Amino acid sequence: MPHTLSCLSPALRLAVALGLATAPLLTQAQACLYRGESADTRVANRSGEITTPFPDALSAIDCRRLRVVTGTVTVYTLTQDRQAMAPRRIDNGPLLASRGDDTGIAPPGMLQQIMVVLEGAQRLKTGSSRGSGDDYVQTVLPAGLLARPEQDLIAVLGPQPDALLASFELTVDGQVAVRQKGPASELRLPAKVLAAGSRARWKLVYGDQAREGQFQVVSAEQLRTLAARLEQEAQTDDVTMRQLRVGAGLVQAGFAWDARAWLRQALLR
């Protein structure tokens, strides 16, 4: 299910992948990210649909269905064990040759954060989410652990106020810090109320869905120490691979919001 020039966006395709994450069929698929080395790179699926994986990386639920038509593509496979991730350069032919390739399904949390990064970039560029809706809006907000931020956290909804946003509320240590109602182009969580050691909860009403989440703020040093260790463990000179591995490790450790800084560097140019 690759991105096509006339139909699905990378973010929507990933949202579909998330919806199918527990389906038996997906356990037989081989997911990956892939990026071309130049603007003339083209990748085709079995039905002849063409993708242009440049400058941004693209993804697919099953990369065995894709082949390089022109140019050179680097394929990054994502497995449950982030140490098993390995880049491959393909000049022509299939992205993944067979079921025997050492690939697998990315952890759901990793797919969610990739979706958020790609969807956020698309919203800034086009103002359109192409249907990912409340999946994106819920996932873009912090959950789990958050390193104490130096600047306000901003969840981008689009260049124009999102009419589906009904309300948003943030409480920190039981005190209301943010309360807004009606359409908005962003959700802003002020850094001044997010001190290390604090616990925060948010409530969101988007369309006809009410969602809630929570996160704990920890010291920025805790994140720096973990990220430094993950970079050492990456053991690769491939910058994109190192960023993906650090991002995956941070997601697994619960730092989903903070992981996106590394994933943006790996996925967007």
pLDDT digits (tens, 9 = 90+) for 174-199: 999 999 999 999 999 999 999 999 99
Residue 90 lies in a domain: yes
148 and 74 together in one domain: no
Cβ atoms within 10 A of the Cβ of 184, count? 18
Residue 39 lies in a domain: yes
The pLDDT value given to residue 186? 92
Q: Which helix (H) or strand (E) holds 20?
A: none
- Degrees to nearest 5, angle at CA 203 with 202 and 209: 145
83 and 156 together in one domain: no
CA distance 244 to 230: 10
The count of structural domains within the chain is 3
Q: pLDDT tens digits for 63-98? A: 888 889 889 998 877 554 444 456 788 887 888 764
Residue 176 lies in a domain: yes
Looking at per-residue pLDDT, the higher value among 10 and 258 belongs to 258
50 and 89 together in one domain: yes
225 and 213 together in one domain: no
CA–CA distance from 238 to each of 96, 242, 245, 268 (Å)? 19, 6, 11, 15
Backbone φ and ψ of 15, nearest 5°? -60, -40
Dihedral angle sign, alpha carbons of residues 105, 108, 109, 113:
positive
- Degrees to nearest 5, angle at CA 157 with 156 and 159: 90
CA distance 74 to 54: 11
The pLDDT value given to residue 86? 62
Residue 227 lies in a domain: yes
The pLDDT value given to residue 266? 82
Looking at per-residue pLDDT, the higher value among 257 and 55 belongs to 257
The most confident of 95-99, 155-159, 220-224, by mean pLDDT = 220-224
201 and 185 together in one domain: yes
By CB atoms closer than 10 A (0-12, 13-18, 19+), residue 237 is exposed
201 and 224 together in one domain: no
Residue 163 has pLDDT above 80, yes or no: yes
The pLDDT value given to residue 2? 38
| Residue-number span of the structural domain to which 90 is assigned | 10-108
CB 171 within 8 A of CB 201: yes
- List all residues 6 or more positions away from 258 whose beta carbon is below 8 Å from its beta carbon: 145, 146, 147, 223, 250
Residue 117 lies in a domain: no
Among 133-137, 138-142, 222-226, the least confident range: 133-137
81 and 66 together in one domain: yes
CB 59 within 8 A of CB 34: yes
**Final residue before a domain boundary, out of 89, 108, 127:** 108
148 and 233 together in one domain: no
Residue 123 lies in a domain: no
Residue 122 lies in a domain: no
CB 157 within 8 A of CB 134: no
CB 93 within 8 A of CB 240: no
224 and 213 together in one domain: no
Residue 129 lies in a domain: no
Q: Write out the two tokens for 2.
A: 């690759």
104 and 92 together in one domain: yes
Domain with residue 164: its CATH number is 2.60.40
103 and 171 together in one domain: no
29 and 91 together in one domain: yes
Buried b or exposed e, range 43-64, using 16+ CB within 10 angstroms: bbbeeebebbbbebbbbbbbbb
